[in-house]
Amino acid sequence: MTATILFVDDEPDLEALVLQKFRRQIRDGSVTIMFARDGLEALQSLEQNPHVDMVVSDINMPRMDGLSLLAKLQEAEDKKSTIIVSAYGDMSNIRTAMNRGAFDFLTKPIDFADLEMTIQKTIRHIEMLREVRGRQAEAERAHAALSRHFSPELAKRLAASGESEGIEVQWRDVATIFTDITGFTSLVESAPPETLGALLNEYVSGMTEIVFAHEGTVAKIIGDAIQVLFNAPGDQPDYATRAVACAHDLDAWAEDFSARWKVRGVNFGTTRVGIHAGPALVGNFGGNRFFDYTAYGDSINIAARLEAANKHLGTRICVSAGIAEAAENFRGRPVGELMLRGRSEPLRAFEPLTPAQFAAPETALYSEAFAKMEAGDAAAMPAFAALVGMHAGDSLAGFHLKRLLNGDKGIRMQLE
């Protein structure tokens, strides 16, 4: 490194002596030397030249002495390494200087060999500080990047330790959640920018906090859509259970959020959630300059298709059979076998329910009607009709009734 040194001394001969003694270092570019006559001039010079690495200052000077200058330097955010020079035997001032944060001291008359050694020692100290600050800045940048994806504790651990396990691209079994909002495009076109900004920031922040509370990973946020992963980057054996619990909390929070904004005259829309589990290519796809932890694969696409299926089914959460089977104490009702876009084989799906919803009498009635439809029993139509008559808000039952009325039979259905 090239060290920039500011000498502060009012002795007229010092400048010539220093330039003579350090001519070789100045010539080869290892040091750059500047001068000031007192503390005030030194502060002005530092303001104009913030790149100065160290200050070598006499104590006794006019206008502002070296101790006062040292105090000012220690108050600054970028504390300069300072060497204090004083008369031999002036130990009281030297002790005061060291107590105020001086890095080292020299006595007059100056021994230039001692001065050179002290400067070299100070340069090594400065290089060490730069390295430490560089590592700290890198850790802070890493933490900022990781915080977009991972829960605070995990982001902190990854940034502090430099761990790469799970960050590199690899195949992993993951549970994927996709969320989206109905009618969001229309809202974007109609809402004032300041309203839309506040709305979306609050929504994304709230949803992300819930994901992190369940120790999920936010893989992507694209406008109003959020993609969440479980079992990545670290192992979570209960990832299906976590995903379902997270989906319930996301749904509850989004419904409350929508109601709060509706009171303010903003029709936010309904948040739809899809969940599927399976292998995916997961890791940082951002290269060296941009951290982008995300996932790709057929299982990811299926989760997205299940989210979109809610629009047709009238549900808010739709999960695959794989999730329903793997989640502990899963409570839900069957949706049917979905022929999703881009797939040749049907996928059995379920609507997860809260404990209260699952215990409600209408859930048992739905299960009976669905079993009749699955068996091809003609009694399925009146069973769904009775259920819709009792609970007009049961959109899934209404969806099946409409299918049966249109002549569709069985539990397999084609969805675009």
Predicted pLDDT of residue 166: 47
Please, what is the average pLDDT of the chain?
86
Predicted pLDDT of residue 128: 81
Residue 198 clears pLDDT 80, i.e. is over it:
yes
Q: Give tens-digit pLDDT for 305-321.
A: 999 999 999 999 999 99
Residue 60 clears pLDDT 70, i.e. is over it:
yes
The percent of residues in the chain predicted with pLDDT above 70, rounded, is: 89
List the structure tokens of 226: 């959020």
Tell me which range, 82-86, 101-105, 217-221, 400-404, is most confidently predicted by mean pLDDT.
400-404
pLDDT band at 326 (very low <50, low <70, confident <90, very high): very high
Is the C-alpha dihedral spanning 345, 300, 269, 341 positive or negative? Answer: negative
Predicted pLDDT of residue 160: 56
Q: Give tens-digit pLDDT for 344-389.
A: 889 999 999 999 999 999 999 999 999 999 999 999 999 999 999 9
Q: Give tens-digit pLDDT for 238-293.
A: 999 999 999 999 999 999 999 999 898 888 889 999 999 999 998 877 666 667 78
Predicted pLDDT of residue 340: 86
Residue 146 clears pLDDT 70, i.e. is over it:
no
Question: How would you list the strands of the sheet with 3-8, edge to edge?
Answer: 31-36, 3-8, 54-58, 81-87, 104-108
Predicted pLDDT of residue 88: 64
Predicted pLDDT of residue 369: 94
CA 11 – CA 48 distance, rounded (Å): 23
Residue 151 clears pLDDT 60, i.e. is over it:
no
Q: Considering only CA atoms, which of 107, 96, 104 is closest in space to residue 122?
A: 104
CB atoms within 10 A of CB 124: 10
User: Which residues are registered as beta bridge partners of 282?
Assistant: 170, 295
pLDDT band at 156 (very low <50, low <70, confident <90, very high): low
Is the C-alpha dihedral spanning 399, 400, 401, 403 positive or negative? Answer: positive
The percent of residues in the chain predicted with pLDDT above 90, rounded, is: 43
Give the contacts of 188 (CB within 8 A, at least 6 positions apart).
196
Phi, psi values for residue 391, rounded to 5°: -135, 85
Predicted pLDDT of residue 357: 94
Q: Give tens-digit pLDDT for 9-45.
A: 988 888 888 888 888 888 888 888 899 999 899 899 9
Predicted pLDDT of residue 140: 53
The residue type at 179: T
b (16+ CB within 10 A) / e for 55-84? bbbbbbbeebbbbbbbeebeeeeeebbbbb
Of the two residues 297 and 29, the one the predictor is more confident about is: 297
Phi, psi values for residue 407, rounded to 5°: 95, 0
Predicted pLDDT of residue 22: 87
Least confident of 87-101, 174-188, 248-262: 87-101
